[in-house]
Amino acid sequence: MYIEQPERVLINKAMAKFASHIRGKVLDVGAGTFDRYSKLFSCESYTRMDVSVREGIDLVGTAESISAPDGYYDAIICTQVLGDVKDPRIAVKEFFRVLKPSGVVLTSEALFNPLHDQPNDYWRFTPYTFTMLFTEAGFSGIAIEALGGFWSVGAQQIIRYCIERFDLYNHSRMWNLPLKYLGRISMWLDIHDHSKVNSLYHHGFVVLATK
């Protein structure tokens, strides 16, 4: 059962905002079982990569070791993956290697998130983390989009707690509507809360980096 969550809504909006930068040969690193983004882009080809063979996966590999020659891809998509990578420095350098000159990476990662995929959950990211990683790897232009604020971060934690505590993906649909409205009200509150404190809380960030 699908349950709307503020974090995912905000990631999708940011991905759509940057979609015009994604073209040519595109690699989706850590694509998983569900094709979330390919329909957003006008591209020549869209290769879905993950760590194991499964339906819909075109290429098997890790973010730190991509089976592609230097300068092969025009763009890389990598959402909610770098936090589960043991050495994100190596991963970002690998992105740089397989991108063509002027190629781009569109990535996202969390600042607030419960433990997940244990024991392969290693990092949380600030904008300063992203700036350091991509600058060190050699990327030039780096645009960072913050996701949400205090209110939607709080609602996200409540929604995730309920999903896990009551196994909502496999149970009653009665939870869907109230949790959906909780998330939407929280995002509305973020938009209208212009306080400095609200700006200190974000789900995470979406980053567009250019080689």
pLDDT tens track for 141-159: 999 999 999 999 999 999 9
Q: Give the residue numbers spanning the domain of 181.
A: 150-192
Is 72 in the same domain as 129? yes
Is 177 in the same domain as 118? no
Q: What is the DSSP letter of 117?
A: S
- The per-residue pLDDT for 104 is 98
- The per-residue pLDDT for 1 is 75
Is 157 in the same domain as 143? no
Is 143 in the same domain as 165? no
- The per-residue pLDDT for 45 is 97
Confidence label for 171 from pLDDT (cuts 50, 70 and 90): confident
Residue 134 within any structural domain of the chain: yes
Is 143 in the same domain as 177? no
Residue 89 within any structural domain of the chain: yes
Task: Kindly state the average pLDDT of the residues 175-183.
Answer: 94
Query: What is the domain-level CATH number for residue 97?
Result: 3.40.50.150
Closest by CA to 40, choosing from 169, 179, 206, is 206
Is 17 in the same domain as 78? yes
Task: Kindly state the average pLDDT of the residues 131-139.
Answer: 98
Is 90 in the same domain as 16? yes
Is 124 in the same domain as 158? no
Q: Are 17 and 145 in contact (CB under 8 A)?
A: yes
Q: What is the pTM of this model?
A: 0.95
Q: Are 202 and 193 in contact (CB under 8 A)?
A: no
Mean per-residue pLDDT of the chain: 96
Residue 99 within any structural domain of the chain: yes
Is 28 in the same domain as 122? yes
pLDDT tens track for 192-201: 999 999 999 9
Is 163 in the same domain as 143? no
pLDDT tens track for 32-54: 888 889 999 999 999 999 999 98
Number of domains present in the structure of the chain: 2
pLDDT tens track for 63-108: 999 999 999 999 999 999 999 999 999 999 999 999 999 999 999 9
Is 120 in the same domain as 170? no
Residue 1 within any structural domain of the chain: no
Is 135 in the same domain as 185? no
Amino acid at 18: F
- The per-residue pLDDT for 174 is 86
